[in-house]
Chains A and B, each alone.
Chain A
Amino acid sequence: MKNGQFLRENLQGDRLALTGAGVWTAADARALEAQIDRLGRSHPAVKSVTIDMAPVERLDTFGAWLLERLVRAFEARGGKVEVTGLKADYRGLIDEMRAVKLDDLDRRRGGTPLSYALSSIGENIVSVGHSFVAIVNMFGALVTAILRVLKRPLSFRMTSLIHQVDMVAWRAVPIVLLITFLIGCIIAQQGLFHFRKFGADVYVVDMVGILVLRELGVLIVCIMVAGRSGSAYTAELGSMKMREEIDALQTMGFDPIEVLVLPRILALIIGVPILTFIGSMAALYGGGLVCWLYGGIAPDIFLSRLKESIALNTFEVGMIKAPFMALVIGVVACVEGLAVKGSAESLGRQTTASVVEAIFLVIVMDGLFAIFFASIGM
């Protein structure tokens, strides 16, 4: 940039005369700003400034604002500023700029990175508290909805429930079968590989049986369901919330919890145990297959070994956990869905939160169940 391109200076004692030139528009705003800021800092002793804008050919908001900034810079130091020669067309624009108040803007910039970091930690902790309260609220609302439905069983949305069971359970069967089958195979293969070193091949059957039935079957299925159906619930309810459909339901005298949330959560409570059962069987099948093909343990030996190593309660432990996990996934998904605000980004954020929270809570619950079953001797 050529010096003095936009403003020519003429300093006489404590009086500064500036003469504008050229085109003061958005395209040159960068260069203009550099010159304006340099001018604003120089000439500290100046008492009075005149700015002749007559030679300036064109002025837009960008130019007008920068002129205003220059005027404010001089005024802040106690100088007297006079702008002359302004075309009548630009009078209104300059007046608009005069009226601009930047107070709020400056206050916003006040924070230091440290205070920002601390405040964001605080905000996050508060929001964890809020989502805990929201989950408890949802449990309460769910229980009242169930009581209401029990009083008037005909008002229950059976069609919706069946549709949801179809979506979350029936349509999830292929992917659940595939993934649990593969997990079963992998556990058996790893077990065989390491147990073989000390001749304990046959205990792989015990390991696969107990691990799959007690823990892995239900965990894998719950993680799958949280990612597959929990996210779908959040997105569905969230977009309904965004388009005020939920408000519409409410004004028509329907309880959104009863109409939308209850069938979804019941569908999960029905679906997840079924999927857990199917998934556990698929994992055992995969484990058995690998034991036979890779470990040389014939299917009849695998089965008789399995019968010895597991009891009915091993199976029960996994199955008892399933509906509770389903409840947690469903409640979290619905709470997050109903927490969506107007924007598309909020929908995305809540969906992510729903999946992450659900998986986290499922694993925490699994830990609590482990302690519980251990202490009652199951």
Chain B
Amino acid sequence: MAAATNGGREVVIEARGVEVGFGDRLVLKGADLDVYRGEILGFVGGSGAGKSVLMRTIIGLIKKRSGTIKVFGSDLDALGDDERRAIERRWGVLFQQGALFSSLTVMENLQFTVRENLKLPQRLMDELAVAKLEMVGLDASVCRKYPSELSGGMTKRVSLARALALDPEIVFLDEPTSGLDPIGAGDFDTLIATLQRTLGLTVYMVTHDLDSLSTVCDRIAVLFDGKVIAAGTMETMLKSEHPWMKEYFRGKRARAAMGARAAALPASSG
């Protein structure tokens, strides 16, 4: 697999002209996006703009009408079932509501993909599950709990541990901090940044959280009217003159969230 490079950085996800529609409504109208290896990409857009749709299209949960998506340099449409599954094993997904299997304990949730894919001895799987739990800031005491017995923050952490079960190279996070209190959300951001460094992950994060965007994201991509209208660092975002981005990054809430950083730039007129 010859992965494309761009300015010396390896592109792990390359989406070109992705169109997705439901009925006669076109949600994505030719979205282009590059995600580089080892970065944390924050993906933003208005509610209902199709942020999650692009993520779900990349991981294959939604069919696209046209366009190509390459992951690790291979076109997902051109792959056979086995090759596709091999690629799927290299990414992990954290769903918005956690999507933990409610009939399995935390331990069994974490071991599910490992058990199916690797056929490891039970002892090793148990130990690794505990190791993963500790990596996400929990401990062995939650092992025997069922998802319904976990708090919102714990559910997110266990889901993240499950997404990391097979040591993926990419993790997709769908609004990881939604539903968490500001402290919990901040902790979760730190956790993502730490894990990204420790495991060398590429993180694709759909988010609304301006704090996450400004603290952990290396790059930000903006979806507006079905297209990715900008991608770059927070500084680039702050300089943009696009009306929606101006409102989003330099509006009242954004100024409150980013404080000093936004204040350093010329204030928005809108």
Contacts and interface: CB of A to CB of B under 8 A. Distances in A.
Interface of A: 25-27, 29-30, 33, 60-62, 65-66, 69, 89, 92-93, 96-97, 99-105, 108, 341-346
19 contacts: A29-B118, A30-B119, A60-B199, A61-B128, A61-B135, A62-B124, A66-B124, A89-B200, A92-B198, A96-B198, A97-B131, A100-B134, A101-B140, A102-B127, A102-B130, A104-B143, A105-B130, A108-B143, A342-B148
B53 interface: no
A344 B199 contact: no
Contacts of A101: 130, 134, 139-140
Given A26-B118, A33-B121, A60-B199, A65 B128 contact: yes
Interface string B114-147: 1000111100101110111011000111011011
**A interface: dominant SS:** helix
Contacts of A89: 200
A101 B143 CA distance: 13
A65 B102 contact: no
B199 A30 contact: no
A341 B127 contact: no
Contact of A33 (B124, B144, B146, B166): B124
Contacts of A108: 143-144
A148 B18 CA distance: 62
A344 B103 contact: yes
Contacts of A341: 148
B126 A105 contact: yes
Nearest to A66: B124
Interface residues of B, number: 33
B198 A105 contact: no
B167 A343 contact: no
Contacts of B130: 100-102, 104-105
Contact of A343 (B124, B126, B127, B146): B146
A101 B133 CA distance: 10
Contact of B131 (A25, A100, A104, A343): A100
A343 B147 CA distance: 8
Interface string B166-203: 11000000000000000000000000001001111000
Contacts of A346: 102, 148
B103 A343 contact: yes
A61 B128 CA distance: 8
Contacts of A97: 131
Contacts of B126: 105
B121 A65 contact: no
B118 A30 contact: yes
Contacts of A62: 124, 128, 167
B140 A343 contact: no
B134 A61 contact: no
B131 A65 contact: yes
